[in-house]
Amino acid sequence: MNANRYIARAADVAARMIGGEMMIMSGADSSLYSLNETASILWQAADGVTPLAQIVERHICADYAVDPATALRDAEELAQDLARHGILLLADAPVPDATLRDTVPPARESP
For another protein, the binding residues (CB under 8 A) are: 12-14, 16, 18-21, 23, 25-28, 30, 32, 34, 105, 107-108, 110-111
The residue among 22 and 71 lying less far from another protein, judged by its C-beta, is 22
Name residues whose C-beta falls within 8 Å of residue 23's C-beta, 6 or more positions apart in sequence: 15, 16, 17, 32, 33, 34, 35
The residue among 21 and 74 lying less far from another protein, judged by its C-beta, is 21
* CA–CA separation, 101 and 61 (whole Å): 26
Concatenate the DSSP letters of all residues of 81-110 into one string. Answer: HHHHTTSEEEESS--GGGGG--SSPPPPPP
Q: Least distance to another protein from the beta carbon of 25, Å?
A: 4
The residue among 39 and 72 lying less far from another protein, judged by its C-beta, is 39
Q: Least distance to another protein from the beta carbon of 15, Å?
A: 9
